[in-house]
Amino acid sequence: MNIAISTSTQTQRRSILVTGGAGFLGSHLCDRLIAQGHDVLCVDNYFTGHKKNIEHLIGHPRFEVLRHDVTFPLYVEVDQIYNLASPASPIHYQHDPVQTTKTIVHGAINMLGLAKRLRCRIFQASTSEVYGDAIVHPQVEGYWGNVNPTGPRSCYDEGKRCAETLFFDYHRRHGLDIKVARIFNTYGPRMHPDDGRVVSNFIVQALKGEPITIYGDGSQTRSFCYVDDLIDGFIRLMDTPDGVTGPVNLGNPVEFTMRQLAELTIEMCGSRSALTFLPLPQDDPRQRRPDITLAQQMLGWQPTIALREGLRHTIAYFDRLLSGQEVNA
């Protein structure tokens, strides 16, 4: 089915809270919301977010930033909430797994409590990791997943699954207007150079002329969505009518092996880096590709930026970053 997104909904000025707003995705979302004419309250504790991601917005009359940890309640007045607060890369979320679970679960409880008090719409940034090491391929929203509840990735995977549970329980119990997006691998400017994600890893290693580190034999697959496409999906989902809850997969359905990505990165960076292979981490998914039929039908959304084009922008960003130039991409 096709659901029309109201033009008036898109243009009406709102006060919008973005938790994790100084992070990779959150800062791009703040940019887009400001560009649409909204008032944005960016909340972040800067564990993985960075002030440099939002410094170009400081002083803007419709932008406000608040240092706050979402594991504690927040008392503000807003019209909508985007809950993005969470470490998202294995290096960061495994650094303090207990705190990761607290951030995801307590953060969800606190933001849902705020939305309940305000009777406002709330968006949850969930993840493809709820599918675990999927045995259904590509992954559809109705698939319940294959997740290890006791492994080193469980703090993030199970935390996000619990957050989805909370969102739907608040929806059923309190009639809360929720929107849940399952985000697949996303890349672009403002990724942290040391976050351990494959795109940033490969680019930084290639630009430095270091060996490209591939875990496993390089045959495992991922699908890579450029950040601008993903943010468009966020806003389209948030602008759907009441009752459209998701979860909705948001990601690029074009699948690449890790070896293909490494070779393309070396080519585009003009690098002479060699490939080096290390053991595959525990519970690392062997394949990952979203079925985006639901997003196409409900949101009229699909990615438009091909991997080569997105990598060009991302490589340019990291090239400036590594050379010490100012970056506000």
* Cis previous bond, 138, omega within 30: yes
Side chain identity at 40, as an amino acid letter? V
Q: Tell me the C-alpha distance between 80 and 100, whole Å.
A: 24
Are 255 and 271 contacting, i.e. CB atoms less than 8 angstroms apart? no
226 tagged catalytic: no
Are 231 and 32 contacting, i.e. CB atoms less than 8 angstroms apart? yes
Adjacent-strand bridge partners of 47 = none
Q: Angle of helix 24-35 relative to helix 227-238, nearest 10 degrees?
A: 60
Residue with tokens 């927040």, as numbered in its chain:
74
Are 11 and 37 contacting, i.e. CB atoms less than 8 angstroms apart? yes
* Cis previous bond, 247, omega within 30: yes
String of DSSP letters for 218-237: S--EEE-EEHHHHHHHHHHH
Residue of 131, 156, 187, 317 marked active site: 156
Active-site residue set: 156
